[in-house]
Amino acid sequence: MKKIVIPILAALCLTGCELDETIYSSIYTEAFYKTAADAEKGLVAAYDPFADMYSGPAGTLIADFSDDQTYPRGVVGRNTLTLFTYDVNYTTQKSNSRTNESPQQIWISGYDGIEKANWIIAKVPDAVMDETRKKQIIGEAYFLRAFYLWMLTKNFGDVPIKTSPSYSEADAIVGKSPKAEVYKQIYADLDLAFAAGLPSYPAVDKGRPAKEVVNALYAKAALYNEEWAKALEKAQAVITSGKYSLMPDVRNVYKYDQEDAARIENMWAYEVDPISPGRSHQMTGLCGPAASSGPEYGRTTFGSMFAYQKFYNSFSPQDKRRQLLDTTYVDKSGKIIPQRSVTPITTEGVLIKKYQDPVSTQNLIPNIPIFRLADMYLIAAEAEARLNGATPAAYGYINTVRKRAGLADLATGLSKDAFIEAVLQERAWEFFAEGDRWYDLTRTGKFLTVIPKAVNPVYPVRNVTAKNKYFPIPQDELNANPKLEQNPDWK
């Protein structure tokens, strides 16, 4: 109960009066995070920016529309990512109401999520509740803070590190830290998350990170930071935990009616459900043919995202993953539509089949994978090779993924560099349209040579430059934070 002293004007005189007021209309941080229910609600709130990031889904599209695998129909500003014509204001995205597909959404969601995780870390330790669950909630907050920070640094490079909540406006004004310091913070948060007693699969709730997922993020962050031994150690820890395994048929990882079964491989994902109102994403609608003409793709589709013909041609005909792409489709009348008629923007349109949802009117069934077990095998293969060359162990990791795809073992006798190149190619085939490839190209410096060759009649020229390794910090953020500086190449 809050005491408020106010003056009251009486008819004949002024007197002092104390009013006892119980506040019902507002929640203050001083009064919140006191109970188990508060802590659980605070944790749900910390996941909300994650949903903002992936419902657009900026979490995948900014990478997918930049890479050499997939491209957009040039509407509502999507082609600025493919043509590298975006500016520090992300003007085209804003003018087309597509901030949710832009790098700016990553920044907005990332720091929103970090702020909410910071409140949990600061306040929940004093909550009156079961100590085991309290520890887990705080551990999840550390994991989320690490994930948000990783999303920020892989897109913007040097970024602010914020580890305490904003009790005042001044607390929110923080300058950038070098990328090396950002990764130290990510590792520190993941160490605390791992020690928090998070459950392992299958005991974990849908959409929440299992203990092994903490190591999965650790492995991938270390790979991006070129700490090969750490990446190998954490990837091996996930693989040898025995909690996850590859699905026998790679196509079932994405099938709308195999979602629960696929959790054995799909370790952590952006989870959606066929309800309204509810969280959704655009991938089903973007990837299906225009005018909702292909029933197997979805009830409402727009023909706005395709794979490059050259990428489709790179697959072996024996590779089962090629069946997650198609050059024809069956329309509502049962007629086979030839490739030349898939889309009016090109005769070489290749459809993406990873996000098909033929049954839901809400297009809410397919999850967007974020960490899959296959990633751990390929991280281990690359890290082992970078440390020790193309060893039998490195071959074993990559061949596990190739065997599931229906391919023969990788040719033996490869040099270290040739083997690493084979791993990067394997990653391209395995994770297309999952927001992964662009970061493989930028972390290895290959984007400057690969992207100019990834052209077609829709995008015959793609003028990528060195500054595109990282996206520019949104001008709105620079205006709001006087301690923040633009990335050097974008000044």
Task: Give me 323's structure tokens.
Answer: 């069946």
Mean pLDDT, to the nearest integer, of 352-376?
90
In 3D space, the residue among 41, 37, 31, 82 whose CA is nearest the CA of residue 61 turns out to be 82
**192 with 294, same domain?**
no
Q: Is 18 helix (H, G, I), strand (E, B) or coil?
A: strand
pLDDT number for residue 446: 98
Q: How far apart are CA 27 and CA 257, in angstroms?
A: 41
Look at residue 11 and tell me whether its pLDDT is greater than 50.
Answer: no
Confidence category of residue 276, pLDDT binned at 50, 70, 90: low
pLDDT number for residue 275: 63
Task: Write down the pTM of the prediction.
Answer: 0.93
DSSP 385-415: HHHH-S-HHHHHHHHHHHHHTTPPPPPSS--
For residue 168, being part of any structural domain is answered with yes
Number of domains the chain is built from: 2
Q: List, for residues 400-454, the tens digit of each pLDDT value.
A: 999 999 999 999 999 999 999 999 999 999 999 999 999 999 999 999 999 999 9
**181 with 82, same domain?**
yes
Please name the residue that has the structure tokens 């070489």.
348
Of 356, 387, 407, the one marking the end of a domain is: 356
**293 with 172, same domain?**
no
Which residue type does 481 have?
Answer: N
For residue 352, being part of any structural domain is answered with yes
**48 with 189, same domain?**
yes
**176 with 323, same domain?**
no
Look at residue 26 and tell me whether its pLDDT is greater than 90.
Answer: no
CB 67 within 8 A of CB 454: yes
> Which domain, by its residues, includes 90?
36-198+470-490
**291 with 193, same domain?**
no
**153 with 297, same domain?**
no
For residue 485, being part of any structural domain is answered with yes
Look at residue 258 and tell me whether its pLDDT is greater than 50.
Answer: yes
pLDDT number for residue 31: 73
Of 303, 325, 356, the one marking the end of a domain is: 356
Which range among 5-14, 49-58, 253-262, 443-452 shows the weakest confidence by mean pLDDT? 5-14
pLDDT number for residue 370: 97
Q: Is 218 helix (H, G, I), strand (E, B) or coil?
A: helix
For 236, list phi and psi in degrees, rounded to 5. -60, -35
**313 with 183, same domain?**
no
Q: How far apart are CA 54 and CA 8, in angstroms?
A: 52
For residue 423, being part of any structural domain is answered with no
Confidence category of residue 280, pLDDT binned at 50, 70, 90: confident
Question: Which parts of 225-272 fold into alpha helices (H)?
Answer: 228-240
Q: How far is CA 45 from CA 39, 112, 120, 296, in A?
A: 10, 10, 10, 35
For residue 138, being part of any structural domain is answered with yes
pLDDT number for residue 2: 36
**307 with 162, same domain?**
no
**475 with 344, same domain?**
no
For residue 375, being part of any structural domain is answered with no
Q: List, for residues 338-354, the tens digit of each pLDDT value.
A: 999 999 999 999 999 99
Tell me the CB-side half-sphere exposure of residue 161, using CA atoms within 13 A. Answer: 16
Of 356, 375, 401, the one marking the end of a domain is: 356
Confidence category of residue 8, pLDDT binned at 50, 70, 90: very low
Q: List, for residues 99-125, the tens digit of each pLDDT value.
A: 999 999 999 999 999 999 999 999 999
Which range among 1-10, 59-68, 109-118, 267-276 shows the weakest confidence by mean pLDDT? 1-10
In 3D space, the residue among 283, 445, 462, 477 whose CA is nearest the CA of residue 366 turns out to be 283
Look at residue 16 and tell me whether its pLDDT is greater than 70.
Answer: no
Q: How far apart are CA 274 and CA 389, in angstroms?
A: 47
For residue 326, being part of any structural domain is answered with yes
For 54, list phi and psi in degrees, rounded to 5. -105, -5
Averaged pLDDT score across all residues of the chain: 93
CATH of the domain at 120: 1.25.40.890
**160 with 47, same domain?**
yes
For residue 152, being part of any structural domain is answered with yes
Q: List, for residues 384-396, the tens digit of each pLDDT value.
A: 999 999 999 999 9
